[in-house]
Amino acid sequence: MSYLECNGLKRIFPGKFTLDLSFEMGEDELLCIIGPSGSGKSTLLSLLCGVDSPDFGKIILNGRDITQEPIQKRRIGMVFQDFSLFPTMDVSQNICYGMRNIAKDERENRTAELLDLVGLSGFEKRSVSNLSGGEAQRIALARAIAAQPQILLLDEPLSALDAPLRKRLRTVIRQIHEQTRIPMIYVTHDREEAFAISDRVMIINKGKVEAIGRPQDVYNNPPNLFSARFTGEGSCIPMSLLTEEDSEKLAFIRPEDIKINKTNPSENYIILKDATVVSAEYITSGFFVRLSYKGSELCCYASSQPESETVDLAVKRDRVLCF
């Protein structure tokens, strides 16, 4: 049985935008939602937490229809990108804000447990103005968990932080999820971040679901060209360049599935002769190479910079996606 169900959920902004989707998620799941700006990610979160109401459809959470329930009755936690901590309260008071109906001793014990959970033991009396960005976001996460939500919504919680800190904190969030088993919906623009921490990924575009599934499945077997392009680098070329048959379809090839000047190619590869090297960018693990082949652009990875202007390419036959 699904823990969260959104059935025929629709929010119409006349002349501007319409969110129209359905999806389900299981209990204990961490679902990441990715999509371009304006795709409907924040609109969906607003409907789920009760800030906005759908024009049609239902939201079922843990077997209960919450579509028209007021926000205060939904028991849904929120973590925002700007932390939203109370500046006049210390760390302990911020966390305790969600536990106002609990006895003082229990609140203090629970606060200590939550600080330990987010890796900030001993921060109870710290002023929030003296916290770093990463510390502030972990306190915001502890405060959201303190209220014992049925589900936790995270709206680009790491986007305001620098890249190394984002990588560290996404690991912390995943570990917290595994320890608490609180179902989480995590919205991000960063596909690497989404793939790293999620059980499943949902891609939305123009208010509709384009793909949903395990990260490795969505990446390796995207259901459509939009999902293929959105989930990572790749080359989109006419299928006719890879086969002798006439075809109006498009082939999508990941850069890791193209090899330069591969020796002794087997029948598992399609050989493209005399591709022109356009550029080679150093990316620490090697080079990201852009090439031109019969008027189409391809890209691939190479361990060393190509030494000639033209190269032969070997494309993995079974990794060519056709749309």
Give me the residues of the chain with pLDDT under 50, please.
none
Assign domain 4-230 to its CATH architecture.
3-Layer(aba) Sandwich (3.40)
> Global pTM?
0.91
Per-residue pLDDT at 54? 97
pLDDT tens by residue, 189-202: 899 999 999 999 99
Class of domain 236-322: mainly beta
DSSP 8-state class, residue 221: S
Where in the chain are the domains? 4-230, 236-322
Largest CA distance in the chain: 76
pLDDT tens by residue, 234-281: 999 999 999 877 778 999 999 999 999 876 667 789 999 999 999 999
How far is Cα 73 from Cα 70, in angstroms, rounded to an integer?
6
How far is Cα 75 from Cα 287, in angstroms, rounded to an integer?
49
Per-residue pLDDT at 102? 83
